[in-house]
Structure 1
Amino acid sequence: MTTQPPTADEELIRAAAHVARTYCRGDDHTMAAAARAADGRIVTAVNAYHFTGGPCAELVAVGAAAAQGAYELVRMVAVGDRERGVVPPCGRCRQFLFDYFPTLEVIVGTIDHPRTVPVAELLPVAYVWADHQDDEAAGGRE
Protein backbone atom coordinates (compact mmCIF):
# COMPACT_ATOMS: atom_id res chain seq x y z
CA MET A 1 0.00 0.00 0.00
CA THR A 2 1.39 3.37 -1.00
CA THR A 3 0.94 6.49 1.03
CA GLN A 4 -0.19 9.65 -0.72
CA PRO A 5 2.00 12.70 -0.15
CA PRO A 6 0.31 15.37 1.95
CA THR A 7 -1.58 18.13 0.18
CA ALA A 8 -0.41 21.72 0.59
CA ASP A 9 -3.12 22.27 3.22
CA GLU A 10 -2.19 19.11 5.11
CA GLU A 11 1.45 20.16 5.08
CA LEU A 12 0.57 23.52 6.67
CA ILE A 13 -1.70 21.89 9.25
CA ARG A 14 1.00 19.37 10.15
CA ALA A 15 3.59 22.14 10.51
CA ALA A 16 1.34 24.15 12.84
CA ALA A 17 0.30 21.04 14.80
CA HIS A 18 3.95 20.07 15.27
CA VAL A 19 4.78 23.53 16.64
CA ALA A 20 1.71 23.43 18.92
CA ARG A 21 2.72 20.02 20.33
CA THR A 22 6.39 20.90 20.66
CA TYR A 23 6.50 24.54 21.76
CA CYS A 24 3.12 25.48 23.22
CA ARG A 25 3.55 24.90 26.92
CA GLY A 26 1.68 26.42 29.78
CA ASP A 27 -0.60 29.41 29.45
CA ASP A 28 1.80 31.80 27.68
CA HIS A 29 1.85 29.96 24.33
CA THR A 30 -1.37 28.12 23.46
CA MET A 31 -1.69 28.53 19.69
CA ALA A 32 0.59 27.87 16.74
CA ALA A 33 0.31 29.14 13.19
CA ALA A 34 1.88 28.13 9.91
CA ALA A 35 1.88 30.34 6.83
CA ARG A 36 2.98 29.61 3.30
CA ALA A 37 4.84 32.40 1.53
CA ALA A 38 4.44 33.05 -2.19
CA ASP A 39 7.84 31.44 -2.76
CA GLY A 40 6.69 28.21 -1.07
CA ARG A 41 8.44 28.64 2.28
CA ILE A 42 6.53 27.74 5.42
CA VAL A 43 6.87 30.08 8.39
CA THR A 44 5.68 29.00 11.84
CA ALA A 45 5.01 30.91 15.04
CA VAL A 46 3.30 30.76 18.42
CA ASN A 47 1.18 33.32 20.21
CA ALA A 48 2.45 35.33 23.17
CA TYR A 49 -0.48 35.48 25.56
CA HIS A 50 -0.71 38.51 27.78
CA PHE A 51 -3.69 39.99 29.61
CA THR A 52 -3.21 43.24 27.65
CA GLY A 53 -3.90 41.41 24.40
CA GLY A 54 -0.61 39.89 23.39
CA PRO A 55 -0.19 38.93 19.75
CA CYS A 56 -1.96 35.89 18.33
CA ALA A 57 0.06 33.23 16.52
CA GLU A 58 -1.14 34.51 13.15
CA LEU A 59 0.24 37.99 13.86
CA VAL A 60 3.54 36.61 15.11
CA ALA A 61 3.76 34.53 11.90
CA VAL A 62 3.40 37.70 9.81
CA GLY A 63 6.28 39.30 11.71
CA ALA A 64 8.41 36.15 11.53
CA ALA A 65 7.79 35.93 7.78
CA ALA A 66 8.84 39.55 7.29
CA ALA A 67 11.98 38.94 9.38
CA GLN A 68 12.83 36.17 6.89
CA GLY A 69 12.14 38.35 3.84
CA ALA A 70 8.81 36.68 3.04
CA TYR A 71 6.48 39.64 2.53
CA GLU A 72 3.73 37.90 0.57
CA LEU A 73 1.77 35.21 2.38
CA VAL A 74 -0.72 33.12 0.43
CA ARG A 75 -2.18 30.65 2.95
CA MET A 76 -2.33 30.32 6.74
CA VAL A 77 -3.65 28.03 9.46
CA ALA A 78 -3.75 28.17 13.26
CA VAL A 79 -3.78 25.11 15.50
CA GLY A 80 -4.48 25.01 19.22
CA ASP A 81 -2.36 23.28 21.82
CA ARG A 82 -3.51 20.13 23.64
CA GLU A 83 -4.72 18.62 20.35
CA ARG A 84 -7.48 21.24 19.93
CA GLY A 85 -7.04 21.15 16.18
CA VAL A 86 -7.58 23.88 13.61
CA VAL A 87 -8.85 27.15 15.09
CA PRO A 88 -10.17 29.98 12.91
CA PRO A 89 -8.60 33.41 13.37
CA CYS A 90 -10.13 35.81 15.87
CA GLY A 91 -11.75 39.03 14.69
CA ARG A 92 -8.64 41.15 15.18
CA CYS A 93 -6.55 38.67 13.18
CA ARG A 94 -9.17 38.48 10.43
CA GLN A 95 -9.06 42.26 10.00
CA PHE A 96 -5.25 42.40 10.21
CA LEU A 97 -4.78 39.57 7.71
CA PHE A 98 -7.32 41.11 5.35
CA ASP A 99 -5.52 44.48 5.52
CA TYR A 100 -2.07 43.00 4.90
CA PHE A 101 -2.96 40.15 2.54
CA PRO A 102 -6.43 40.65 0.99
CA THR A 103 -6.02 37.55 -1.21
CA LEU A 104 -4.79 35.30 1.63
CA GLU A 105 -6.49 31.92 1.98
CA VAL A 106 -7.17 30.67 5.51
CA ILE A 107 -7.61 27.05 6.48
CA VAL A 108 -10.61 26.52 8.77
CA GLY A 109 -12.69 23.51 9.74
CA THR A 110 -11.12 20.53 11.44
CA ILE A 111 -7.90 18.59 10.97
CA ASP A 112 -9.95 15.74 9.48
CA HIS A 113 -12.13 18.02 7.34
CA PRO A 114 -10.25 21.23 6.59
CA ARG A 115 -11.45 23.75 4.07
CA THR A 116 -9.76 26.78 2.65
CA VAL A 117 -11.54 30.11 2.37
CA PRO A 118 -10.42 33.57 1.28
CA VAL A 119 -9.83 35.83 4.28
CA ALA A 120 -12.35 38.27 2.78
CA GLU A 121 -15.09 35.66 3.31
CA LEU A 122 -14.27 35.64 7.02
CA LEU A 123 -15.12 39.38 7.07
CA PRO A 124 -18.33 39.70 5.07
CA VAL A 125 -18.63 43.46 5.64
CA ALA A 126 -15.00 44.35 6.19
CA TYR A 127 -13.63 47.73 7.15
CA VAL A 128 -11.18 48.56 4.36
CA TRP A 129 -8.16 50.20 5.93
CA ALA A 130 -6.70 51.12 2.53
CA ASP A 131 -9.80 53.22 1.78
CA HIS A 132 -9.29 55.06 5.07
CA GLN A 133 -5.64 55.66 4.22
CA ASP A 134 -6.67 57.21 0.88
CA ASP A 135 -9.02 59.59 2.73
CA GLU A 136 -6.24 60.65 5.10
CA ALA A 137 -3.80 61.25 2.24
CA ALA A 138 -6.39 63.47 0.55
CA GLY A 139 -6.84 65.43 3.78
CA GLY A 140 -10.33 64.08 4.50
CA ARG A 141 -11.60 62.93 7.86
CA GLU A 142 -14.26 60.46 8.82
Structure 2
Amino acid sequence: MITVHALTDEDRELIALARRTVDENTDGPDGVYTMGAAVRGVDGRMYAGINLYHFTGGPCAELVALGRARAEGARELATIVAVGNEGRGVVGPCGRDRQVLIDYHPGIRVILPTAEGVGSVPVTDLLPESYRWTPNP
Protein backbone atom coordinates (compact mmCIF):
# COMPACT_ATOMS: atom_id res chain seq x y z
CA MET A 1 0.00 0.00 0.00
CA ILE A 2 1.29 3.44 -0.95
CA THR A 3 1.45 6.09 1.74
CA VAL A 4 0.78 9.51 0.22
CA HIS A 5 2.23 12.51 2.02
CA ALA A 6 0.64 15.95 1.86
CA LEU A 7 2.48 18.62 -0.10
CA THR A 8 4.77 20.96 1.78
CA ASP A 9 5.55 24.57 0.88
CA GLU A 10 8.86 23.31 -0.52
CA ASP A 11 6.96 20.80 -2.69
CA ARG A 12 4.72 23.58 -4.04
CA GLU A 13 7.81 25.68 -4.79
CA LEU A 14 9.30 22.75 -6.73
CA ILE A 15 6.06 22.28 -8.69
CA ALA A 16 6.07 26.01 -9.53
CA LEU A 17 9.63 25.75 -10.90
CA ALA A 18 8.71 22.78 -13.09
CA ARG A 19 5.59 24.63 -14.30
CA ARG A 20 7.57 27.79 -15.13
CA THR A 21 10.15 25.71 -16.96
CA VAL A 22 7.60 23.99 -19.18
CA ASP A 23 5.51 27.12 -19.72
CA GLU A 24 8.55 29.14 -20.81
CA ASN A 25 9.88 26.39 -23.08
CA THR A 26 6.82 24.54 -24.39
CA ASP A 27 6.41 23.45 -27.97
CA GLY A 28 2.91 24.95 -27.76
CA PRO A 29 -0.46 23.30 -28.31
CA ASP A 30 1.03 20.90 -30.85
CA GLY A 31 3.74 19.88 -28.35
CA VAL A 32 1.45 17.70 -26.26
CA TYR A 33 4.47 15.79 -25.03
CA THR A 34 6.40 18.75 -23.62
CA MET A 35 7.21 18.20 -19.96
CA GLY A 36 9.15 20.21 -17.41
CA ALA A 37 10.68 18.74 -14.27
CA ALA A 38 12.36 20.02 -11.15
CA VAL A 39 14.40 18.28 -8.50
CA ARG A 40 15.46 19.50 -5.06
CA GLY A 41 18.76 18.58 -3.49
CA VAL A 42 18.97 17.76 0.20
CA ASP A 43 20.66 21.15 0.58
CA GLY A 44 17.50 22.88 -0.74
CA ARG A 45 18.89 23.89 -4.14
CA MET A 46 16.55 23.28 -7.08
CA TYR A 47 17.35 22.22 -10.63
CA ALA A 48 15.01 22.20 -13.62
CA GLY A 49 14.94 20.39 -16.92
CA ILE A 50 12.75 19.95 -19.96
CA ASN A 51 12.33 16.90 -22.14
CA LEU A 52 13.42 16.62 -25.75
CA TYR A 53 10.50 14.78 -27.29
CA HIS A 54 11.23 12.94 -30.51
CA PHE A 55 9.32 10.14 -32.20
CA THR A 56 12.32 7.84 -31.68
CA GLY A 57 12.31 8.55 -27.96
CA GLY A 58 14.26 11.08 -26.04
CA PRO A 59 15.28 12.04 -22.56
CA CYS A 60 12.38 12.63 -20.20
CA ALA A 61 12.28 15.92 -18.32
CA GLU A 62 13.01 14.10 -15.06
CA LEU A 63 16.23 12.65 -16.48
CA VAL A 64 17.30 16.04 -17.83
CA ALA A 65 16.69 17.60 -14.39
CA LEU A 66 18.67 14.78 -12.73
CA GLY A 67 21.53 15.32 -15.17
CA ARG A 68 21.54 19.06 -14.58
CA ALA A 69 21.63 18.55 -10.82
CA ARG A 70 24.52 16.11 -11.20
CA ALA A 71 26.38 18.50 -13.54
CA GLU A 72 26.06 21.23 -10.91
CA GLY A 73 27.44 19.00 -8.15
CA ALA A 74 24.28 17.72 -6.46
CA ARG A 75 24.72 14.11 -5.44
CA GLU A 76 21.94 13.72 -2.86
CA LEU A 77 18.43 14.57 -4.00
CA ALA A 78 15.28 14.79 -1.91
CA THR A 79 12.28 15.37 -4.19
CA ILE A 80 11.35 15.37 -7.89
CA VAL A 81 8.28 16.42 -9.89
CA ALA A 82 7.23 16.66 -13.55
CA VAL A 83 4.58 18.98 -15.00
CA GLY A 84 2.97 18.84 -18.45
CA ASN A 85 2.61 21.78 -20.79
CA GLU A 86 -0.66 23.50 -21.70
CA GLY A 87 -1.90 23.27 -18.10
CA ARG A 88 -1.80 19.46 -17.87
CA GLY A 89 -0.46 19.67 -14.32
CA VAL A 90 1.65 17.25 -12.32
CA VAL A 91 2.39 13.94 -14.05
CA GLY A 92 3.94 10.80 -12.54
CA PRO A 93 7.22 9.39 -13.87
CA CYS A 94 7.33 6.69 -16.52
CA GLY A 95 8.71 3.23 -15.73
CA ARG A 96 12.18 4.02 -17.05
CA ASP A 97 12.38 7.14 -14.87
CA ARG A 98 11.23 5.17 -11.84
CA GLN A 99 14.00 2.64 -12.39
CA VAL A 100 16.64 5.37 -12.82
CA LEU A 101 15.41 7.12 -9.67
CA ILE A 102 15.60 3.92 -7.63
CA ASP A 103 19.08 3.13 -8.94
CA TYR A 104 20.55 6.59 -8.35
CA HIS A 105 18.39 8.03 -5.55
CA PRO A 106 16.52 5.25 -3.69
CA GLY A 107 15.48 7.67 -0.93
CA ILE A 108 13.93 10.32 -3.19
CA ARG A 109 10.30 11.38 -2.86
CA VAL A 110 8.23 11.73 -6.03
CA ILE A 111 5.41 14.26 -6.33
CA LEU A 112 2.57 12.87 -8.45
CA PRO A 113 -1.20 12.74 -8.78
CA THR A 114 -2.85 10.09 -6.60
CA ALA A 115 -6.39 9.04 -5.72
CA GLU A 116 -6.11 11.46 -2.76
CA GLY A 117 -4.90 14.34 -4.98
CA VAL A 118 -1.36 15.52 -5.68
CA GLY A 119 1.02 14.33 -2.99
CA SER A 120 4.42 12.73 -2.57
CA VAL A 121 5.49 9.14 -2.17
CA PRO A 122 8.83 7.39 -1.75
CA VAL A 123 10.08 6.17 -5.14
CA THR A 124 10.37 2.67 -3.69
CA ASP A 125 6.57 2.62 -3.35
CA LEU A 126 6.25 3.22 -7.09
CA LEU A 127 8.40 0.28 -8.13
CA PRO A 128 8.19 -2.36 -5.39
CA GLU A 129 10.39 -5.41 -5.85
CA SER A 130 12.33 -3.49 -8.49
CA TYR A 131 15.48 -4.75 -10.09
CA ARG A 132 18.41 -3.02 -8.42
CA TRP A 133 21.10 -2.37 -11.00
CA THR A 134 24.72 -2.35 -9.94
CA PRO A 135 27.79 -2.22 -12.15
CA ASN A 136 29.54 -4.77 -9.91
CA PRO A 137 27.29 -7.81 -9.32
Give me the TM-score of the superposition, normalised by structure 2.
0.85
Find the aligned partners of 1:24 and 1:67 in 2 and give their Cα distance.
23
Quote the sequence identity (%). Answer: 50
| Match in the other structure for 1:18 | 20
Q: Distance in 2 between matches of 1:19 and 1:38?
A: 21
Inter-partner Cα distance in structure 2 for 1:28 and 1:107:
21
2:11 equivalent to 1:9: yes
Per the alignment, residue 140 of structure 1 pairs with none
Q: Any conservation in 2 of the 1:79–1:85 contact (CA below 8 Å)?
A: yes
> Going by fraction, where is helix more abundant, 1 or 2?
1
SS in 2 for 1:127: coil
CA distance in 2, matches of 1:97, 1:86: 17
- 2:126 aligned partner, one-letter code: L
What is the aligned counterpart of 1:96 among 82, 97, 100?
A: 100
Partner deviation per Cα, 1:47-83 (whole Å, 9 max, x = no partner): 0112222000000011111111112111000000000
Residue type of the partner of 1:8? E
Does the Cα contact within 8 Å between 1:16 and 1:77 map onto a contact in 2?
yes
> Per chain length, whose mean CA-contact separation is higher, i.e. which structure has more relative contact order (CA < 8 Å, sep 6+)?
2
Aligned length: 127
Q: Partners of 1:113 and 1:7 in 2: how far apart?
A: 16
Amino acid at match of 2:12: E
- Is the alpha carbon distance of 1:28 and 1:60 closer, same or farther for their aligned partners in structure 2, counting shifts above 3 Å? farther
Q: Any stretches of 5+ residues in structure 2 without a counterpart? A: 1-7
Preserved CA contact (<8 Å) 1:29 1:48 = no
Aligned counterparts of 2:33 and 2:57: Cα–Cα separation in 1: 13
Aligned pairs for 1:55-70 within 5 A: 55-70=59-74
Distance in 1 of aligned mates of 2:51 and 2:16: 17
